[in-house]
Amino acid sequence: MSPHLRLAALLLAVGAWSAGLPMAGGLAGAARAEDAPPAASSAEIVPTVTVTPASREPVEERVPLSGTLVARQEVQVYPQVSGYEVTELLAEVGDRVEQGQPLARLSDATLSAQLAQAEAEHARAQASISQAESQIASTAAAAEQAATALDRAQRLKDSGNAPQATLDQAIAAEASATAAAASARDGLTVARAGLAQADAALMIARLNLERTTIRAPVAALVTERNVQLGALSGGATTPMFRLIANGEIEMEGEVLETALAGLQVSDPAELSAAGVGPITGEVRLIPASVDPVTRLGIVRVSLPQDERLRIGLFASGWLILDRREAVTVPATAVLADSGGDRVQVVRDGRVETRVVRAGVLWNGRREILEGLTEGELVMLRAGAFFRDGDPVRPVDEVQAARLTAGELTTPPGATGAAGGSGGMSAQAASVTTAAAQGPTTANSPGDAGADVTGQP
């Protein structure tokens, strides 16, 4: 025993004797104090960290989308005859109509009279053709008779039995009959032209009368009616009816220009419409240009038929560019800064900071494209203060939770440095609280220490 300890024991014994206490007890206590092992230095405590294996999980690559529900193809219905009174309205907003179904009717009295007039003109044109044909037959007979008379007069003149005057008369009569026949043939051409004109006028009159009934050009949903009974057709610049062809409604949304390169027709979309809830669709049209001010492109997403959908409703959601399986780690295991992305791998009880190439973030996990293989252990919550080669004691998430709950008094694999099995040290108790709290933010080096379940 050293001189100093001997002196302390002697003084303790004297104090005990003066107080009337047994000296043996004091000496025994001094001896136990001398024989007790020295307290462990805090520098010898190895921090306990929560680790998790890199695992292969399904991930989705998504881009946000927001916009408005619009008609896939809007149809505007205008009257094709102007100045006629609206006498009937046969469709209301919200009605589904078939192709050719009447929507409204106009007054047809005037157009009916015009049709009757056109029919009369057409009949007269047909009669003119018959008359011209009869005239042609008559003039043809006269021309033939004149030609016969001329031939006879010529023979008589040649035989000396008729004067020259008789022959001259026969020649003139034959020429006149030939001209009359030609005129009759031209008259038939004029009559036929008149009949064609009458045909066109009759067709127009019939069309105008038919157009007094306003019909749906396609099967559609009526979304707007801008006409009232008694109004005159053609007096407004707005259409009488607005329709949605086949009732098809789709979403017109804006997408960031950086996402357009990976976007393809038929990519699925998961959306939510105001007052309707979740709906699914697929990309129908990809923009050919981007707005130079907003840097956004307009995408059209086709939607299923749903009576609850209305044009003008706001909708938002995601376009799914890709679905795949990939190696992933919790988002809190990735440190990201100007130097790139890193994870802290725990191998043989030591920390290895490794540069990786991170991909998409999905369901709280980060895709690792390069630098990490499936099954490698990484710190659940990477710590910026750890360096390569630092010793750590790895525990999984279940063990960390049990440490926090007090079910384990010593971290698995701990030795006498923390006081053996007599109880969990104050430092171990403090770090298990941090483990119980779990990750709170992703990719934040400043919060990384919260993952540590034991500190020196």
pLDDT digits (tens, 9 = 90+) for 414-440: 443 333 333 333 333 333 333 333 333
CATH number at residue 253: 2.40.30.170
pLDDT at 31 over 70: no
Dihedral sign computed on CA atoms, order 424, 429, 433, 434: negative
Radius of gyration for the chain, computed over Cα atoms and rounded to the nearest angstrom: 52
- Amino acid identity, residue 357? R
Cα separation of 65 and 84, whole Å?
47
Check residues 445 and 276 and name the one with the higher pLDDT: 276
- For 230, residues 6+ apart whose C-beta sits below 8 A from its C-beta are 85, 86
CATH number at residue 102: 2.40.50.100
Check residues 147 and 359 and name the one with the higher pLDDT: 359
Cβ neighbours of 432 (radius 10 Å): 26
- 388 and 428 fall within a common domain: yes
User: 267, 293, 323 — which closes off a domain?
Assistant: 323
- 197 and 180 fall within a common domain: yes
CA distances from 313 to 1, 271, 276, 335 (A): 91, 12, 9, 41
- 218 and 102 fall within a common domain: yes
Residue 21 inside a domain? The answer is no
Cβ neighbours of 207 (radius 10 Å): 13
- 344 and 313 fall within a common domain: no
Phi first, then psi, for residue 107 (nearest 5°) are -65, 135
- 152 and 222 fall within a common domain: no
Q: In this structure, what DSSP letter does residue 430 have?
A: H
Ramachandran category for residue 283: left, alpha or beta (phi over 0 → left; psi -120 to 50 → alpha): beta
- 92 and 174 fall within a common domain: no
Question: Which residue from 234, 311, 330 is spatially nearest to 273, judged by alpha carbons?
Answer: 311
Structure confidence at residue 410 (pLDDT): 56
Mean pLDDT of all residues in 195-203: 90
Cα separation of 276 and 280, whole Å?
12
Residue 125 inside a domain? The answer is yes
- 119 and 205 fall within a common domain: yes
Structure confidence at residue 133 (pLDDT): 73
Q: Is 454 exposed, middle or buried (0-12, 13-18, 19+ CB in 10 A)?
A: buried
- 145 and 185 fall within a common domain: yes
Structure confidence at residue 239 (pLDDT): 93
- Amino acid identity, residue 169? Q
Cα separation of 314 and 254, whole Å?
12
Residue 145 inside a domain? The answer is yes
pLDDT at 209 over 60: yes
Structural domain including 288 reads 63-69+247-323
User: 277, 295, 323 — which closes off a domain?
Assistant: 323
Among 69-73, 232-236, 279-283, 407-411, the minimum mean pLDDT is found in 407-411
- For 16, residues 6+ apart whose C-beta sits below 8 A from its C-beta are 22, 23, 25, 26
Phi first, then psi, for residue 399 (nearest 5°) are -65, -40
- For 332, residues 6+ apart whose C-beta sits below 8 A from its C-beta are 380, 381, 382, 439, 441, 442, 443, 444, 448, 451
Residue 455 pLDDT class (50, 70, 90 cuts): very low
Residue 407 pLDDT class (50, 70, 90 cuts): low
User: 298, 323, 348 — which closes off a domain?
Assistant: 323
Q: In this structure, what DSSP letter does residue 232 have?
A: B
Residue 362 inside a domain? The answer is yes
- Amino acid identity, residue 256? L
pLDDT at 155 over 80: no
- 252 and 313 fall within a common domain: yes
Residue 411 pLDDT class (50, 70, 90 cuts): low
Angle among Cα 256, 260, 266 to the nearest 5 degrees reads 120
Structure confidence at residue 443 (pLDDT): 36
- 93 and 167 fall within a common domain: no
**330-343: pLDDT as tens digits:** 999 999 888 889 99
pLDDT at 403 over 80: no
Structure confidence at residue 412 (pLDDT): 57
DSSP 395-425: E-HHHHHHHHHTS-SS-TT--GGGTTTS---
CA distances from 269 to 363, 380, 420 (A): 18, 32, 58
For the record, the structure tokens of 318 come out as: 């995601």
- 144 and 194 fall within a common domain: yes
- 380 and 409 fall within a common domain: yes
Of the segments 4-8, 181-185, 265-269, which one has the largest average pLDDT value? 265-269
Say if CB 53 and CB 327 are below 8 A apart: no
Among 111-115, 162-166, 215-219, 372-376, the minimum mean pLDDT is found in 162-166
Check residues 418 and 157 and name the one with the higher pLDDT: 157
pLDDT at 453 over 60: no
pLDDT at 82 over 60: yes
Residue 368 inside a domain? The answer is yes
- For 146, residues 6+ apart whose C-beta sits below 8 A from its C-beta are 170, 173, 174, 175, 176, 177, 178
Residue 186 inside a domain? The answer is yes
Q: Is 104 exposed, middle or buried (0-12, 13-18, 19+ CB in 10 A)?
A: buried
What's the chain's average pLDDT? 79
**59-68: pLDDT as tens digits:** 999 999 999 9
Cα separation of 210 and 337, whole Å?
74
Residue 286 inside a domain? The answer is yes
pLDDT at 313 over 60: yes
**226-276: pLDDT as tens digits:** 999 999 998 778 999 999 999 999 999 999 998 888 899 999 999 999 889
Question: Which residue from 415, 416, 444, 418 is spatially nearest to 431, judged by alpha carbons?
Answer: 418
SS3 content of the chain, % helix, strand, coil (to 5): 35, 30, 30
Cα separation of 51 and 344, whole Å?
10
Count of domains for the chain: 4
Residue 22 inside a domain? The answer is no
Residue 44 pLDDT class (50, 70, 90 cuts): low
Mean pLDDT of all residues in 15-28: 43
Mean pLDDT of all residues in 199-221: 94
Among 4-18, 251-265, 286-300, 413-427, the minimum mean pLDDT is found in 413-427
